[in-house]
Amino acid sequence: MKRNGIGALSSRVARAACVLALLLPVLAFASDRVPKPVIDIDKPGKCVEDTATMRREHPDLLRHQRDLTMHEGVRTRKYSLKQCVACHASTRTGSVLGEKGFCQSCHTYASVSIDCFRCHSSRPKPSSGAKP
Amino acid sequence: MSADRNEGFSRRGFLAISAATLGGVMLAPGIRLIEIARARAPDQPVSGKVRWGLLIDTNKCAPGCDDCVKACATENGLKDTGHPRTDAQWIRKVELKDMRTGRNNSVPVMCQHCEHPPCVDVCPTGASFKRADGIVLVDRHICIGCRYCIMACPYKARTIVFENITDQNPDVPRGSGCAESCTLCVHRVDRDQQPACVEACTRAGHNAMIFGDLNDPHSEIAQRVAKYASTQIRADLKLNPGVRYQGL
Ligand code: SF4
Ligand code: SF4
């Protein structure tokens, strides 16, 4: 009887620990102790795909489009880096780079280097709406 | 409904017929009916049926004029970095003098968009490539900056970018460490515009350059090369450049 009690108690503790362990990253992220990227998002809402897909797959989408455009002259706007910049450039700085820039803020946070803008313009063409 | 469709059909048919018969008729400077009729949709890949080319009439090219060079620099964001010996040059004006007759020739020379490009043959990465429609480009995503193509090009058309570049034209991505040369303004050609140099030369009234599809018998360029003598620079190399010259 006593042994049973201890067993039940320890399994309850173990279960609680498990749940806590699972919750911990979420709790940590939800708390203010862990810094999160601060992103200037001027146009919240739907991108060319839903947010989860864009977060996970934007490099592949861009890479696929880049080869089509470069080698076959396909110039559709969906998935084009130029179009990303045209939409996501901050109205404050006019760029997707910078501390709170749409691209750079997250990439700095995740410590992923971003080479695109060594060649590509981080600003839209002046005529495309956003500020220079 | 069916009347609508018929009307649509016949209007399209009319456009095609008028394009075929009127050929090079100008609607506005730089826009020809034939080009409107054959515009490629943005999701269509380029086709090997097209061979883009340039015809440069050296009799009309004014000595000392660099309108094309300036237009190229503006369009493609080629800036003076204070190092003229290594700055990128996509077009150069070459002055020639025939010592026997004393005749002066002034010719713009850019990437000749060879049919058999040595720059593509030597590239170890596949970065240097020829598009199906004959435009020779560097895929900067792949280029490692080895400069083999610069050495291999008989026309000295390629340069490498030494300095970091900022404020690029969004249509023309460029960066340090990559080889580059004239792209025939591929970003403009893909939206049915003329290369910037041709547009500038025409706008200034020199009319020394024509751009078009060498494979299309109705295009102005194909009709001109069929009618008048034109030469390719170093034709003996048998690279079949897409850039041809008149009066050399
Ligand atoms: S001119 Fe030079 S760079 Fe241009 S295609 Fe020919 S070999 Fe290549
Ligand atoms: S410099 Fe770039 S494009 Fe030229 S041969 Fe080397 S890898 Fe190829």
**C-beta separation of B235 from B245 below 8 A:** no
Provide the pLDDT confidence category of residue A108 given band limits of 50, 70 and 90.
very high
Distance in angstroms (rounded) separating the CA atoms of residues B136 and A29: 50
The residue ranking higher by pLDDT, A127 or B58, is B58
Asked if B147 and B225 sit in the same domain, the reply is: yes
| Residue B105 phi, psi dihedral angles, 5° rounding | -130, 140
Q: What ipTM does the predicted assembly reach?
A: 0.79
**C-beta separation of A109 from A102 below 8 A:** no
Q: Which pLDDT does position B63 carry in this prediction?
A: 87
Provide the pLDDT confidence category of residue B11 given band limits of 50, 70 and 90.
very low
Helix (H) or strand (E) holding B33: helix B33-37
Query: Which amino acid does the sequence have at A71?
Result: H
Whether residue B40 lies inside any domain: the answer is no
Pairing of strands B136-138, B159-160: unpaired
DSSP β-bridge partners for residue B244: B55
Q: Which pLDDT does position A32 carry in this prediction?
A: 72
Whether residue B39 lies inside any domain: the answer is no
**C-beta separation of B22 from B15 below 8 A:** no
pLDDT above 70 coverage of chain B, percent? 85
What is the tally of structural domains in chain B? Answer: 2
**Average pLDDT over chain A, rounded to an integer:** 81
pLDDT above 90 coverage of chain A, percent? 57
Show residues of chain B in contact with A76, CB under 8 Å: 42-43
User: How far apart, in Å, are the Cα atoms of B144 and each of B87, B104, B155, B171, B178?
Assistant: 19, 40, 21, 22, 7
Q: Which of B224, B152, B162, B212 is nearest to B184 (CA)?
A: B212
Asked if B167 and B134 sit in the same domain, the reply is: yes
Range of the domain at B90: 52-246
Of B3-7, B92-96, B148-152, least confident by mean pLDDT is B3-7
Asked if B185 and B123 sit in the same domain, the reply is: yes
Of A44-48, A90-94, B61-65, B105-109, least confident by mean pLDDT is A44-48
Do you know the residue count of chain A?
132
Render pLDDT for A7-48 as a digit per residue (tens, 0 to 9).
555 566 556 554 555 555 455 555 678 888 888 888 887 899
Whether residue B152 lies inside any domain: the answer is yes
**DSSP structural state of residue B218:** T
Q: Which of B38, B57, B10 is nearest to B206 (CA)?
A: B57
Asked if B13 and B100 sit in the same domain, the reply is: no
Q: Which of B37, B43, B35, B46 is nearest to B15 (CA)?
A: B37
Asked if B210 and B164 sit in the same domain, the reply is: yes
Whether residue B224 lies inside any domain: the answer is yes
| Residue B88 phi, psi dihedral angles, 5° rounding | -65, 140
DSSP β-bridge partners for residue B114: B241
Q: Which pLDDT does position A132 carry in this prediction?
A: 38
Say which CATH number the domain at B207 has.
3.30.70.20
Q: Tokens standing for B124?
A: 């170890």
> Alpha helices of B144-210 — where are they, by DSSP H?
148-152, 186-189, 196-203
Residue B121 has pLDDT above 70, yes or no: yes
Q: Which atom of ligand 1 is nearest to the CA of B158?
A: 3
Helix (H) or strand (E) holding B202: helix B196-203
Render pLDDT for B177-209 as a digit per residue (tens, 0 to 9).
999 999 999 999 999 999 999 999 999 999 999
Q: Tokens standing for B118?
A: 């040595």
> Which of A34-48, B76-90, B112-126: highest mean pLDDT?
B112-126
Ligand 2 in reach of B123 Cβ (< 6 A): yes
pLDDT above 90 coverage of chain B, percent? 78
Distance in angstroms (rounded) separating the CA atoms of residues A79 and A59: 10
CB contact under 8 A, B170 and A68: no
Asked if B95 and B204 sit in the same domain, the reply is: yes
CB contact under 8 A, A74 and B176: no
Residue B217 has pLDDT above 60, yes or no: yes
Rg (Cα) of chain A, in Å, rounded? 22
Select from B45, B139, B174 the Cβ nearest to the Cβ of A73: B45
Whether residue B220 lies inside any domain: the answer is yes
Whether residue B46 lies inside any domain: the answer is no
Ligand 1 in reach of B109 Cβ (< 6 A): no
Asked if B25 and B89 sit in the same domain, the reply is: no
Asked if B27 and B130 sit in the same domain, the reply is: no
**C-beta separation of B216 from B87 below 8 A:** no
Q: Which pLDDT does position B14 carry in this prediction?
A: 40
Query: Which amino acid does the sequence have at B96?
Result: L
| Partner B contacted by A127 (CB < 8 A) | no
Of A5-9, B68-72, B78-82, B239-243, least confident by mean pLDDT is A5-9
Asked if B123 and B89 sit in the same domain, the reply is: yes
Residue B211 has pLDDT above 80, yes or no: yes
Select from B46, B164, B168 the Cβ nearest to the Cβ of A73: B46
For the packed helices B196-203 and B67-76, what is the interaxial angle rounded to 10 degrees?
Answer: 140
Of A72-76, B15-19, B23-27, B82-86, least confident by mean pLDDT is B15-19
Ligand 1 in reach of B155 Cβ (< 6 A): yes
User: Please, what is the Cα angle at B197 between B147 and A71, to 5 degrees?
Assistant: 50
**Average pLDDT over chain B, rounded to an integer:** 88
Ligand 1 in reach of B183 Cβ (< 6 A): no
**C-beta separation of B149 from B158 below 8 A:** yes
Distance in angstroms (rounded) separating the CA atoms of residues A49 and A45: 10
List of residues 6+ apart from B11 with CB closer than 8 A: none
Residue that has been written with the tokens 């503006």 in this structure: B74
Asked if B103 and B207 sit in the same domain, the reply is: yes
Whether residue B42 lies inside any domain: the answer is no
What is the mean predicted confidence (pLDDT) over B29-37?
49
Asked if B107 and B13 sit in the same domain, the reply is: no
Ligand 2 in reach of B149 Cβ (< 6 A): yes
Asked if B137 and B173 sit in the same domain, the reply is: yes
Distance in angstroms (rounded) separating the CA atoms of residues B175 and B52: 26
Min distance B178 CA to chain A CA atoms (Å): 10
In the A/B pair of chains, how many CB contacts fall below 8 A? Answer: 56
Q: Which atom of ligand 1 is nearest to the CA of B120?
A: 8
Whether residue B147 lies inside any domain: the answer is yes
pTM score: 0.80
